[in-house]
Amino acid sequence: MKTFAWLIPILPALAALANGLFGRRYINEWAGHVASAAMLLSLLLAFICTMIALPQGGDFVPVDHDYYTWLGAGTLSIPFGIYIDQLSVVMMMVVSLVSSIIFIYAIGYMRSDPGYVRFFTYMPLFTFFMLLLVMGNSLPLLFVGWEGVGLCSYLLIGYYYDRDYAADAGKKAFIVNRIGDFGFLLGMLLLFWFTGALKFSDLFESAPSSFVYAGVPITMITLLLFFGATGKSAQIPLYVWLPDAMAGPTPVSALIHAATMVTAGVYMVARLNLLYSMAPATLFLVGVIGGLTALYAASIALVQRDAKKILAYSTISQLGYMFLACGTGAYIAAIFHLMTHAFFKACLFLGAGSVLHAFHRTTDVDVFEAGGLRKVMPFTRWTFLISTIAIAGIPPLAGFFSKDEILWKAFSGGHLFLWGLGIAAAFCTALYIFRLYNLLFSGEFRGTGEQRMHLHESPALMWVPLAILAFFSICAGWLNMPLFGYHGFHNFLHPVTAQGHHLAEHAIHPPILASEHLLEWLLAIGSVLVALAGIAFARLLYVWEPTLASRMEESFQSAFTILYHKYHIDEVYDLIVVQNYMRCCRAAQWFDDRVIIAGLNGLANSANRAADTVRKIQTGTVTHYALATLVGMVFLVVWLFLCY
Amino acid sequence: MISLNHYLILSAVLFSVGALGVLLRRNALIILMSVELMLNAANLAIVAFARYPFFREVGLAAEDLAVAGNGMVFVFLVMTVAAAEVGVGLAIIINLYRQRQTINIEIANLLQG
Amino acid sequence: MTSIQIPELSFSLIAPELILCTAAIVILLVDLYVKNVERINITLLALIGIVLAFFSAGTLYGASELAFSWLIIRDDMSVVIDQIFLIGAALIVLMSHHYSERYHFPYGEYIVLLLFSTLGMLIISASADLITLFLGVELVSITLFVLTGFEKKSLLSGEASLKYLLLGAFSSAFMVYGIAFIFGMCRTTNLISIGSLLSEDFIGSPLLILGFALLLVGLGFKIALAPFHMWAPDVYQGAPTPITAWIAAGSKLAGFIALVRVFSLPDISFHPLARTWVEGIWWLSLLTMIIGNAGALVQKDIKRMLAYSSIAHGGYLSMAFVSHNDVGLQALLFYLAAYLFMTIGAFAVVIAAGRHGEERRRISDFAGLAKRRPFLAAMMSLFLLSLAGMPPTAGFIGKVWLFGSAIQAQYYGLAIVGILTTLFSFYYYLRVIVYMYMRDEEKEFEAEPLSVSLTLALSLSALGVLILGVFPNTLMKVITNSVIVL
């Protein structure tokens, strides 16, 4: 495997290089094809890796191969190498598969964009870094990928650079991510200091002996690393960049801000599960942050008007689920949800992109201006519906199995509070996602007549990828159906987490309920019912009630504009949803604006003040400079005398 | 009897006078001269140390000859460097005068911030 | 009557210095006696001298000797550093070839001064005595004073050279005064002797501390440690751009090597004096990181911004003295090499993006560069990202190594400030990239076509940044070995 696995990340890098160097002169409109071809090739190779690993299942011995010693100075040794175990195989498959599909979709979507070549330079570059992130065999290599995807994300968010908000959003994403990276870097350096190892294989070997279970060092390190993850994976408090990141082209949102990059934090926690299992305090925090984020983001998604914003908050919320799972020690469930989420969220985003395409917009569409699209866009509608059901958690689609496993793990692990958060978030999820679906596709079109004229189904190059993603949104969940006693995915990944579980169980005996099959079934049915309630509620609000209302309006005042209609829905919303609940959502928004963003701004302001001071001191007169030198000298001498 | 300390105090005084000159004067030429004064203060200290190796009050032992030589050679080198510095400095100051018709350093503050 | 003994003169050990000096003198004579020398011939002569010096330095690996009555030390570290200096000098010569044509400098004199300043740096790296160290530092400074003022018509250049001269001489006085006290207390100016003296039960008197403090002030000025940094932004902005690059890269490197020679004396790691310096440098490093990064945040002039960034880097680099361990020293040497490439590269882009009389000086002038000159924009992004410490460039490896050394020495606070200020530094580096890629230019701005020499300088710097970032091992092994020898 090691003979060809290195090609998997290298191929997209080559495509990026080719497009970057020769794109404008020679490749031009073929840039998309070059990138897609490279991506499909690495998908093929990743598939071959999977085919090698899969039959061996849990017995598969991880491939750990150094191609080249990157750094090798004394105790510090970092190789350029790959580490392919069951976890990497899953991640490689997800990343290369979703990327391939989105690349092909983007050929159609970006066709008429002037920055076509630039787009297809950044995108393969991104995939290169992402594959490096999941395949690298050491923490610094993971960090290289981590930084690299951040950079590409920044470039792609700012893709429509002629718009101020796009450039600002890019900057925001970058800065917030850097704050997270600060934690990551510090955690990494501390880890190296304590264990003297940075390669995963060495780390897993030396960590159990280097750290005391639940000791301060391991807790500090895992907390710092998790802080990095909150930045990359958009969790409280560093999630603020993700909704703004929707300023980029839709395939970017689908690939980077939904399916792959934002899951890097989850991957990192799962990869280092051994360390996290030794730090129960961190795990507790991870779970709480994940649960809170899941509910918080889902509640914000309820009141948004922009389709992509809704999906962005939905992503944050789903990532929260994954961290919730990690927090309860159910790393495999987290990865499982990561995989299913990658499919249905990519499908949702690309579907939204298809709608934007119909509107001839590039970034945002007000859901209240859409409606009734099911007639003009049948393919988009059906694929969107499938992924909507998948995310809402209705069996037998993918989202149900993964979400249910997370909730069951939380419940059976005794984390009832987290389970409660998860269930509440599940209700919100079903509500907002069907609100979105209903507003987009049900009812009548609410846009202007001119817009209606231009509405059209997207070309096959776009809906075929949608169909493929929809297919996976249905089937991906069947890899693991604990309800029916099938644990394929779990058994495959089990070796990755075995050591960590072993360590954790040695130290304490968590109140794990015996796997009572009946209880599991009851809970599953319960969560389905909650989801169904959410769907019904959404249906009531946005389909049944408005038509009723509009018929009433017709009999009283026939000349009501679509604008009024929009307002009416808001009123119904206000009436039915309890005022307090709205206040809660607004409070969340307020908290977002005032506390988190203001905090970041405060930091920036103090930096600016310092900068001004420095600038004022620099008067331009030699005398003042000499004085500074003299004063500095006096202080230095006095200080040295004091220290001596 | 003049001891090492006397020389050191004198050199410290000279050094301070030079430093004050740099801080208080506005004429670039005079600032350059003040810097030369500081360098000479340092030279004085070196020569004094060379003359009084190991805090002996008078006389030179044979093994101290090397130390004395070391210090004095250094002083000559410092003087050479100082001369080079002044040479270059005068050229730069003349250039400044040609550009602005003044060598007041307070005028020369286009570069700031 | 004792006969005067002439100590053994091992000229082979200073072959690089001799070759460089010869090259400079040959160019001086050629410029003087041959009429209408082609610019390119002078450049070629200089490059030949530098390359010969580079290879002759290469033959000296493993020498590890003291020569010229212990004035010169030829260890592996000095060889590595010499070679880094020579690479830098070659890059500056290539940049100058283009730039001096643009502004009609008297080229022969210019190159001679440049080579002499390089000679000064080589002397610093090989000095085992405070006297040679002082001479080297002054040779570098005095030639750079002149070079800074080389644009005789420019008010900025003249003002910059005046400031550099006055403050440089001022700081030299501190240095000499410091050396005087060290000499007085230790009875020698030889660094090896001082080292062994301090490692014995030698209780330093207050004057010795004063001496080292003054020396630190003098050298701190050369490497622009806050609060001795204030000349740097003005001089960097006013000097001709290739010279700015050479001050930022070469002179700073030389200052750090001088500090290494003085403050990493052998066998004194546990001497109370060593701990005392660490306390002092801790503050300087902290202050420098904060002031450098804060100052860069609000700059509008690209050279000034890079000047503050260079100050900030001085702060990161001096962290190595605080950690005061092998790892720190290795990291310092590696980062210096990386820093040389990225700084020179960034200034080379600044030159290439302008033309006669119309330089791209303000950061906003860089708007739309990506459309007009994609190669230049890509190069600039690479260098800036490396300065910011983005993997997989050389800057990242150097930073991780440096911060790692501080953490290893348990200076967490300093490491945290280092990482935090790095975080803020992304803002101003990225601002340039944003301008280049995401803004449209305000007015037509056609730069001169890229000359061969500049393309070479740019590509070599980029290669350096990438090779040190992706394959840092080669240099790292050399450095690790050389530090062990030390």
Strands (E), A427-467: none
Put simply, the answer to whether A622 touches B108 (Cβ < 8 Å) is yes
Q: Which domain holds residue A636?
A: 571-643
Q: Which of residues 30-69 of B touch C (CB under 8 A)?
A: 31-32, 35, 38-39, 41-43, 45-46, 48-50, 53-54, 67
Query: Given this model, what pLDDT does residue A505 score?
Result: 66
A96-145, pLDDT tens digit by residue? 999 999 999 988 888 888 888 888 988 999 999 999 999 988 888 898 89
Put simply, the answer to whether A626 touches B113 (Cβ < 8 Å) is no
Put simply, the answer to whether A625 touches C230 (Cβ < 8 Å) is yes
Same domain for A590 and A456, yes or no, is no
Per-residue pLDDT band for A551 (boundaries 50, 70, 90) equals very low
Report the distance separating Cα A556 and Cα A546, nearest Å. Answer: 15
- Residue C399 identity: K
- Residue B55 identity: F
- The residue ranking higher by pLDDT, C317 or A204, is C317
Query: Given this model, what pLDDT does residue B94 score?
Result: 93
In a domain, A579, yes or no: yes
Distance from CA of C87 to the nearest CA of A (A): 22
Query: Given this model, what pLDDT does residue A593 score?
Result: 64
- The residue ranking higher by pLDDT, A453 or A524, is A524
Put simply, the answer to whether B110 touches C169 (Cβ < 8 Å) is no
User: For residue A620, which residues of chain B lie inside 8 Å, CB to CB?
Assistant: 108-113
In a domain, A354, yes or no: yes
Same domain for A460 and A530, yes or no, is yes
What does the angle CA A238 – CA A242 – CA A245 come to, to the nearest 5 degrees? 140
The mean pLDDT value of chain A amounts to 81
- The residue ranking higher by pLDDT, C6 or A299, is A299
In a domain, A2, yes or no: no
Distances in Å between the alpha carbon of C441 and those of C35, C271, C367, C368, C381? 44, 58, 5, 5, 17
Residues of chain C with pLDDT under 50: 1, 485-486
In a domain, A10, yes or no: no
- Residue A589 pLDDT more than 70? no
Average pLDDT in the A24-46 region?
A: 86
Ranked by mean pLDDT, the top range of A53-62, A369-378, C15-24, C274-283 is: C15-24
**Long-range Cβ pairs for the range A199-205 (8 Å, 24+):** A199/A64, A199/A77, A199/A78, A199/A79, A199/A81, A199/A137, A199/A138, A199/A139, A200/A64, A200/A83, A200/A137, A200/A138, A200/A139, A200/A271, A201/A62, A201/A64, A201/A83, A201/A137, A203/A139, A203/A272, A203/A274, A203/A275, A204/A274, A204/A499
Query: Residue A616: closest CA among chain B residues belongs to which residue?
Result: B113
Which one of C135, C142, C299 has the shortest CB-CB distance to B77? C135
B27-61, pLDDT tens digit by residue? 999 999 999 999 999 999 999 988 876 544 445 56
Per-residue pLDDT band for A397 (boundaries 50, 70, 90) equals confident
Query: Residue A627: closest CA among chain B residues belongs to which residue?
Result: B23
Q: If DSSP states are collapsed to H, E and C, what string results for chain C?
A: CCCCCCCCCCHHHHHHHHHHHHHHHHHHHHHHHCCCCCHHHHHHHHHHHHHHHHHHHHCCCCCCEEECCCCEEECHHHHHHHHHHHHHHHHHHHHHHHHHHHHCCCHHHHHHHHHHHHHHHHHHHCECEHHHHHHHHHHHHHHHHHHHCCCCCCHHHHHHHHHHHHHHHHHHHHHHHHHHHHHHHHCCCEHHHHHHHHHCCCCCCHHHHHHHHHHHHHHHHHCCCCCCCCHHHHHHHHCCHHHHHHHHHHHHHHHHHHHHHHHCCCCCCCCHHHHHHHHHHHHHHHHHHHHHHHHHHCCCEHHHHHHHHHHHHHHHHHHHHHHCCHHHHHHHHHHHHHHHHHHHHHHHHHHHCCECCECCCEHHHHCCHHHHCHHHHHHHHHHHHHHHCCCCCHHHHHHHHHHHHHHHCCCHHHHHHHHHHHHHHHHHHHHHHHHHHHCCCCCCCCCCCCCHHHHHHHHHHHHHHHHHHHCCHHHHHHHHHHHHHC
Global confidence as pTM:
0.82
Domain count, chain C: 1
User: For residue C138, which residues of chain B lie inside 8 Å, CB to CB?
Assistant: 81, 84-85
A551 touches chain C (CB under 8 A): no
CATH architecture of B4-100: Orthogonal Bundle (1.10)
Residue A138: helix, strand or coil by DSSP? strand
Average pLDDT in the A16-42 region?
A: 84
Query: Given this model, what pLDDT does residue A174 score?
Result: 76
Query: Residue B100: closest CA among chain C residues belongs to which residue?
Result: C155
Q: Which domain holds residue C235?
A: 11-485
Query: Residue C437: closest CA among chain A residues belongs to which residue?
Result: A161
Put simply, the answer to whether C216 touches A610 (Cβ < 8 Å) is no
C401 touches chain A (CB under 8 A): yes
In a domain, C113, yes or no: yes
Chain C neighbors (3+ CB pairs < 8 Å): A, B
In a domain, C5, yes or no: no
Query: Given this model, what pLDDT does residue A545 score?
Result: 65
In a domain, A171, yes or no: no
- Residue A386 pLDDT more than 80? yes
Report the distance separating Cα A59 and Cα A86, nearest Å. Answer: 10
A321-330, pLDDT tens digit by residue? 999 999 988 8
- Residue A634 identity: V
**ipTM attached to this prediction:** 0.93
Domain count, chain A: 2
Same domain for A535 and A602, yes or no, is no
In a domain, A488, yes or no: no
The mean pLDDT value of chain B amounts to 87
Put simply, the answer to whether C391 touches A148 (Cβ < 8 Å) is yes
- Residue A182 identity: F
In a domain, A239, yes or no: no
Same domain for A575 and A534, yes or no, is no
Query: Given this model, what pLDDT does residue C267 score?
Result: 55
Same domain for A468 and A587, yes or no, is no
Chain B neighbors (3+ CB pairs < 8 Å): A, C
In a domain, A219, yes or no: no
Query: Given this model, what pLDDT does residue A591 score?
Result: 63
Domain ranges of chain B: 4-100
C446-463, pLDDT tens digit by residue? 777 888 999 999 999 999
Query: Given this model, what pLDDT does residue A72 score?
Result: 66
Report the distance separating Cα A108 and Cα A15, nearest Å. Answer: 18
Put simply, the answer to whether A623 touches B105 (Cβ < 8 Å) is yes
Residue of A122, A157, A629, A638 best to disrupt the C interface, most CBs of C under 10 A: A629
Q: How far is CA A67 from the centre of its chain?
A: 30
Residue of C438, C481, C484 best to disrupt the A interface, most CBs of A under 10 A: C438
